[in-house]
Amino acid sequence: MEQVESALDYHVALAMLDWQIELGADEVLSEAPVNRYELQQSQPKQAPAGPDGKRRPPTPVAKPKVDPVADAKKLAAAAQDLAGLRAALEGFEHCELKQAARQLILSQGSVDARVMVIGEAPGRDEDREGRPFAGRTGALLDKMLAAINLSRSGDGASGAYLTTVLPWRGPTNRDASPAEVAMMKPFLERHIALQKPEVMVLMGNLPCQALLAKRGISRLRGQWAEVQVAGGPAIPALPMMNPERLMRNPNAKRDAWADLLFLRAKLDAL
C-alpha cells in the first residue's frame, strides 16, 4: 500500500505552533472537557506582597466561639408551650445526635397527667415509631404503670406523661456524653416547667445525672429526691431502674415493684 505523505512539513508545523503560542495557547487539547471557570475559582488567591515585596499567607480569622449550653438556654426559655419547645429543639444544631437520628422524640401522654416519667434516650424502636418507651421495653413499662392504675393514654389522676432526657437516638445506642447531657438539660428543665407534674419518675442514670447530678441507679432507686426548675416549687422525684435494665435483670423486678408502691403511696398522699 502506498504511503501518503502529509502536506504539513516541519517548517509549516513550527510556524503554526508559534502562531498558536502568540494567541495564548499554553497546552495541548485534552479528550476530557475542562471547565476553566471552576479551575479559576478553586485556585487559591495569592497573598498580597508586604513592604519588602515578599508574599506572606493571610492571617487566619478566628471564628466566633459558640456556647451550645447558652444557646440551648436561650432557645428553651423562649418556648411558651410544647409546640414551641419542639420547634426550639428542631432549630438546635449543636447536638451531633440529631444528624444520625431518624426523627425527634419529644413526649407522649396527656399534658395534665400528674406523673412525668423521664427516661434516658430513644432507642431503635423509639426512633422508628416516633414515641418514647416503644417496643418491648415500652410494653413492660405499660404493664408496670397499669399495676398502679396509671397509663400513658390516661389523663389527670390516671395519666402518665412520658419523655426522655435526649430527644434523639444516639448512633449504635451509645451512652450520651456529659457535653450532650449539659446541652439538653435546659430543654428538659423547660419541658418540666411547661408540663408541671406533681411527681416525677427518673428512670435510669441519665435523668438522675441531668436533674440530681448523681449516678448509680442501683443505689439511688427507691429514695425520694426533689427537683426544682425555673424557680418553681420542688417536685418529688423517684429514681427507678428503666425497663430495659429490668428485662436484662429479672431479679430486679422485685425492687421495681416496691418503687411502684412508693409512687402510688405518694400520689395517694398528695
| DSSP sequence for 216-258 | -HHHHTT--EEE--TT---EEEEEE--HHHHHH-GGGHHHHHH
Residue 70 pLDDT: 95
Residue 65 pLDDT: 79
Contact predicate 245/252, CB 8 Å: yes
Phi and psi (nearest 5°) for 181? -65, -40
Residues 89-103: pLDDT tens digits? Answer: 999 999 988 888 999
Every domain of the chain and the residues it spans: 68-269
**3-class secondary-structure state, position 108:** strand
Percent of the chain with pLDDT over 90: 68
Q: If one looks up domain 68-269 in CATH, what number appears?
A: 3.40.470.10
